[in-house]
Amino acid sequence: MIDQELLERAKDIRLLILDVDGVLTDGSIILDNNGNELKAFHVRDGHGIKMLQKVGIEIAIITGRRADVVERRASELGIQHVYQGVLNKAAAYADLQEKTGIPASAIACVGDDIVDIPLLRRAALSVAVADATEETRAAAAYVTKARGGRGAVREVCDLILKATGKWDQLLNAYRNS
């Protein structure tokens, strides 16, 4: 059951900002002998992102690390706003807000570590994944049941879709196809 205050925070969301390591992935960084960085992304998180985009909600990535695989995954999902190698996430947030014109009252952020707290403090809907640091969970309005890289992003996408009244419309489209 989703409480009313949370639904109220989520009902006007027009932009979802995601961290990568620990949110879209489980936080593991796998390096192979050829210098490639590998990350595992959950397929249902990707589908949740696509469903949000289908109803006009924008997605952005703001991450402290830089990896080619993040660009590839963002491209596959149609995520146009990708900030990698970011040391000051608040500055990237401000830049993104300026580019999109979306006010903080319509922004949701998902994080897992203390570097994400400045974003969580600025967003209307602040979310920490279940296995986030204690401080990050304390800064969030909502803590997912799922862990990072294990469906937490999908959980947030479903919450937003239900709060905005788009869930039944999407579900019926799948049922009737």
Q: Domain segments of the chain: what residues?
A: 4-175
The overall longest dimension of the chain from CA atoms, in Å, is 50
Low-confidence stretches of the chain (pLDDT < 50) are: none
Distance CA 115, CA 70 (A): 18
CB-CB contact of 128 with 137 (8 Å): yes
Beta strands 37-38 and 107-111, pairing class? unpaired
Q: According to the model, what pLDDT value does residue 174 have?
A: 85
Q: According to the model, what pLDDT value does residue 177 have?
A: 81
Q: According to the model, what pLDDT value does residue 155 have?
A: 97
Residue 175 in tokens? 């049922």
Q: According to the model, what pLDDT value does residue 86 have?
A: 96
Phi, psi values for residue 14, rounded to 5°: -125, -10
Distance CA 51, CA 102 (A): 19
Which pTM does this prediction carry?
Answer: 0.96
> Residue 111: what residue type?
G
Structure-token match 């990707």, residue found = 46
| Helix spans in the chain (H) | 4-10, 43-54, 68-77, 89-100, 117-122, 134-139, 152-163, 167-175
Q: What is the DSSP letter of 147?
A: P
Q: According to the model, what pLDDT value does residue 72 have?
A: 96
| CATH tag, 4-175 | 3.40.50.1000
Q: Count CB atoms within 10 A of the CB of residue 54.
A: 13
Q: According to the model, what pLDDT value does residue 173 have?
A: 86
Beta strands 107-111 and 125-128, pairing class? parallel
Beta strands 37-38 and 30-31, pairing class? antiparallel
